[in-house]
Amino acid sequence: MKRLLLLLLVPATLLSQETPPAPGAPRPVVLPKPAEKTLANGLRVVVAPRRNVALVSATVMIQTGAEADPKGRDGLADVTASLLTRGAGTRTAPQLAEAIEALGGGLESDGGWDASSASVNVLATNLPAALAILADVVRRPTFAAPEVERLRKERLDDLTLALKQPGTMAAWAAQRLVYGDAPYAHPSGGTPDSVGRIRREDVVAFHRAHYVPKNAVLVLTGDVERDQAFRAAERAFGGWQGGAKPRQTAAAPPASPAPRVVVIDRAQSGQAAVGVAALGIRRVDPDYHRGSVANSVLSGYSGRLNQEIRIKRGLSYGAGSSLDVRREPGPFYASAQTKNESAAEVATLLLAELERLAAGELPADELTPRKAVLVGGYSRELETAEGLAGELASLALYGLPFGEIEKTIPAIEAVQADEVREFARKRLPRSRASLVVVGEGAKFLPALKEKFPNLEVIPEAEVDFSSPTLRKK
């Protein structure tokens, strides 16, 4: 890989070849300056105009997500959020869909980790009408019993489909391996068993406790003027009443269980999905930017994982990793799909790169471009109304000031090679990483066992994603 970078630095070796023309002077990046206001009921309203096209996006974020799912009710936060759009105020589910789609837009709601959200994205002239619908959805969902039942059925079919995808199964297994029985361990959409147990009363209680203005943030971005946005927010949400901000499910940072090597053995798997997982960091961790850069060295098209697995060896269509930062430490997950026969080789390569990040060289001509990837990606994210809304919501969720937007690019650029190495060594050590492979065991188990003699094999039919052991009882 460094051979390629040398090309740019040592043009003399190119002889008769042409060299690319040098870049001109860089243009400054203009960053958005959000404004905010807290309504009398405690709702925080954030506005960041970006008037390049006549669209506006509004999101209500509730600062509670799947981490608050009660035991045995995995998926409750997500089911609750999804039901918001299935009837609210005086409208039925079909009437809501018609109303928002007539405004030239979409209405979406879902639950994630740490937060749930409902959002509209509409033609700019329709903002007041869209906010009225958004307010209905968040404040006055009907949760009609037939809708709860209908959604539960849909969810069961969705889960049936998801459980036939090797990549999804590997990712869900990885969460269990990292978190055991802690709040981030279960599939956030639930499992067939847990979704089957969710009742209307559970949903109503979850909504009453968490969907209150003191636990919410409204973010408006796009073609909207600041004061007009605040007035519209006041009209739609000023009368929202609700109780105190609920206590967050602040489980102490989970002590990750002992690492495991797990194979989920399934017949006729079109490919094997291979994943390496470990406990990562919180969003507010002082190492956040170092962690982002470390992940960028591994991930992205020219990151080390894709270099080694796809570009050098043709073993996968794509390999990459993510460092998912949350209120509590989120997971690090590196993964690739490959033909069953090469699963053991890919597993070895993923783990080797984790080790190399902690101990190997990271020359400037590799580090600088990987930081540029992050900087460029961040700038582009802020260019769309949706990307900007996502970043503002994330900062609000984790209690970070919006001034972080201006500090982010310099902070990325300041990260040094030894800091990346130290991050990998201390925060993502190979010794704490688990491995999961989902595929046709017969085609890779002998090779895999040689490298990981203590691996556990779980036949597909015996897997239970709601169990910390991953096995049915």
Partner 1 sequence: MTGVLLAVFAAAVSSSPAPPARVKPRLTMPPLQARLRTLPNGLKVVSLADASSPTVSVQVYYQVGSVDDPDQRSGFAHLFEHLMFKATKNMKSEMMDRLTEDVGGFNNASTGDDVTRYYEVVPAHYLETLLWAEADRMATLQVDEAAFKSERDVVKEEFRSRVLAPPYGKLFYAMETRSFTVHPYRRPGIGSIEDLDAATLEDVRAFHRTFYRPDNATLIVVGDFDPAKLDEWVDRYFSKVPKPDLPLPRVTAVEPPREGEKRFSETGANVPLPAVLVTYLVPPVTHPDAEPLRVLEALLASGDSSRLHRTLVYEKQLASRVAAGADLRLQPGLFYAFGIAASGHGADEVEKGLLAELERMKQTPVTAQELEKAKNQLLHDLLAQRETASGKARALAEAVVFYGDADRANTDLARLQAVSAADVARVARQYLTEKNRVVIGYAQEASK
Q: Across the strands, what pairs with 262?
A: 436, 456
x-marked contacts with partner 1 along 240-279 as a string, rule CB under 8 A: --------------------------xxxxxx--------
x-marked contacts with partner 1 along 218-247 as a string, rule CB under 8 A: ------------------------------
CB 107 within 8 A of CB 134: yes
Pairing of strands 216-222, 44-49: parallel
Distance CA 3, CA 164 (A): 41
One residue of 43, 61, 84, 133 binding partner 1 per CB under 8 A: 133
x-marked contacts with partner 1 along 322-351 as a string, rule CB under 8 A: ---------------xxx------------
x-marked contacts with partner 1 along 379-418 as a string, rule CB under 8 A: xx--xxx---------------------------------
Q: Is 9 in the site for partner 1 (CB under 8 A)?
A: no
Rg of the chain over Cα atoms, rounded to whole angstroms, equals: 24
For residue 146, the minimal CB distance to partner 1 (Å) is 11
List of residues 6+ apart from 158 with CB closer than 8 A: 189
Alpha-carbon 364 to chain mean position: 29
* Per-residue tokens: 427: 């925060």
One residue of 5, 352, 447, 457 binding partner 1 per CB under 8 A: 5
Which of residues 14 and 244 has its CB atom nearest to partner 1 in the complex? 14
Distance CA 72, CA 346 (A): 35
For residue 385, the minimal CB distance to partner 1 (Å) is 7
For residue 84, the minimal CB distance to partner 1 (Å) is 13
Q: Restricting to residues 157-186, name those near partner 1 by CB under 8 A.
A: 157-158, 160-161, 163-167
Which of residues 150 and 425 has its CB atom nearest to partner 1 in the complex? 150
Question: By CB under 8 A, which span of 94-102, 172-180, 227-235, 441-449 interacts with partner 1?
Answer: 94-102
One residue of 31, 39, 129, 209 binding partner 1 per CB under 8 A: 129
* Per-residue tokens: 392: 């503002």
Distance CA 171, CA 158 (A): 16
- Nearest to residue 45, comparing CAs of 208, 222, 232? 232
Question: By CB under 8 A, which span of 104-112, 209-217, 415-423, 441-449 interacts with partner 1?
Answer: 104-112
Q: Restricting to residues 15-74, name those near partner 1 by CB under 8 A.
A: 17-30, 52-55
In single-letter form, the type of residue at position 203 comes to V
Q: Which residue has the tokens 């900007």?
A: 388
Distance CA 254, CA 183 (A): 8
Residue count at the site for partner 1 (CB under 8 A)? 96
Distance CA 107, CA 114 (A): 21
